Amino acid sequence: MAGAAGRPATLTTSPASHPTAPADALFLPGPVLLLGAPGVGKGTQAQALVSEFGIPQISTGDLLRGNIARGTELGLKAKEIIASGMLVSDPIVNQMVEQRLQADDTHHGYILDGYPRTLDQAMFLDRTLSESDAALPVVAISIVVAYDQLLHRITGRRICPACKSIYNIYFNPPKQDGLCDLEGSQLEQRPDDTEPVFAERMKTFEEQTAPVVEHYRALGRFREVDGDQPVEAVTAAIKSALLDLRQQGRNA
Ligand code: AMP
């Protein structure tokens, strides 16, 4: 979400361009779920992990928005639902994720960002993974941020349509009002980043996604991370939680 002061929160997705190599070049991240309410920074943190570990980010929100942009049948179905702050139906999202997980780039792991969001999706994912030949079990990391902070993060979020840099008018504004520092393009607000839709998305989160967090907490392969810190500190906390969870798996 908000980047370090004075620059947009775009993170490179190229492993080679990251300034620090992974602590352990042989470290296999495996499947990682990034959980949390809208605006906790799942997308930003997923990109940081992509950069660190060279595994793909699979964001169901991005996949759905891609379908909307391409005008596919799925996109047409999803557009209104997303604009209202409600959830796209489980079968549609499950099928989309199942197909994506079959791609070759998922062998060393992947970061699921924004999925699962309902208990049915979590059950579907657990079943799919238990039937696969994945080397490692899924681990879940939940990012936690207080409601008021999320409200400002979401309603203040602006995105450059050209380079996808993310700004926030409260915490990380562009140098010139409404314009991308890098591209000069007019910044855009996601249609579901308005206050009424945010309230609906939070309600949806509490009712449908909070039980998913509890599901993975109960399974034990779970950590909670404080998301109300600078982006880099959250990334460090997530990496440390992930290393810890994989170490715990080796010792089990
Ligand atoms: P996000 O970019 O993750 O905030 O997702 C934006 C919107 O896409 C959500 O508010 C939902 O309407 C829809 N969406 C994304 N992921 C899912 C999912 N796993 N299940 C159902 N709907 C989803």
Query: Could you tell me if the CB of 87 is within 6 A of ligand 1?
Result: yes
DSSP string, 109-169: EEEEES---SHHHHHHHHHHHHHS--SS--EEEEEE--HHHHHHHHHTEEE-TTT--EEET
| CA–centroid distance, residue 113 to ligand 1 (Å) | 10
DSSP 89: P
Q: How far is the CA of 43 from the centre of ligand 1 (A)?
A: 12
Per-residue pLDDT of the chain (252 residues; tens, 9 = 90+): 334 334 455 433 333 333 344 445 578 889 999 999 999 999 999 999 999 999 999 999 999 999 999 999 999 999 999 998 899 999 999 999 999 999 999 988 999 999 999 999 999 999 999 888 777 899 999 999 999 999 999 999 999 999 989 899 999 999 999 999 999 999 999 988 999 999 999 999 999 999 999 999 999 999 999 999 999 999 999 999 999 999 887 777
pLDDT at 89: 96
In a domain, 125, yes or no: yes
Q: Is residue 232 part of a domain?
A: yes
Residue 252 domain flag? no
Residue 4 lies in a domain: no
Tokens of 192: 């579901």
Residue 165, domain member (yes or no): yes
Catalytic residues: 42, 117, 157, 190, 201
pLDDT at 27: 80
Domain that holds residue 156: 28-247
Under 8 Å between Cβ of 30 and 135: yes
Number of structural domains (the chain) is 1
Q: What is the dihedral of CA 42, 48, 50, 52, to 10 degrees?
A: -140
Considering the domain boundaries, does residue 3 fall inside one?
no
Closest residue (by CA) to atom 1 of ligand 1?
61
Confirm whether 13 is domain-assigned. Answer: no
- Residue 35 beta carbon below 6 angstroms from any ligand 1 atom: no
* pLDDT the model gives residue 25: 58
- Can you give the pLDDT at residue 250? 79
Q: Which residue's alpha carbon is nearest to atom 2 within ligand 1?
A: 61
Residue 129 token pair = 């993974």
Six-digit token string for 250 = 């080796």
Task: Label the pairing between strands 57-59 and 139-144.
Answer: unpaired
Residue at 142: amino acid letter: S
Residue 6 lies in a domain: no
CA atoms of 148 and 223, how far apart (whole Å): 23
Q: Is 97 in the pocket of ligand 1 (CB under 6 A)?
A: no
* Ligand 1 contact, 64 CB (< 6 A): yes
Q: What is the CATH number of the domain that holds 222?
A: 3.40.50.300
C-alpha span between 178 and 128 (Å, rounded): 44
User: Which has the closest alpha carbon to 249: 219, 218, 221, 214?
Assistant: 221
From 88, 155, 198, give the residue whose CB has the most ligand 1 atoms within 8 Å, as the site to mutate. 88
3-state DSSP helix/strand/coil % of the chain, to nearest 5: 50, 15, 40
Other residues' Cβ atoms within 10 Å of the Cβ of residue 91: 11
Q: Is 83 exposed, middle or buried (0-12, 13-18, 19+ CB in 10 A)?
A: middle
Q: Is cis: bond before 173, omega within 30 of 0?
A: no
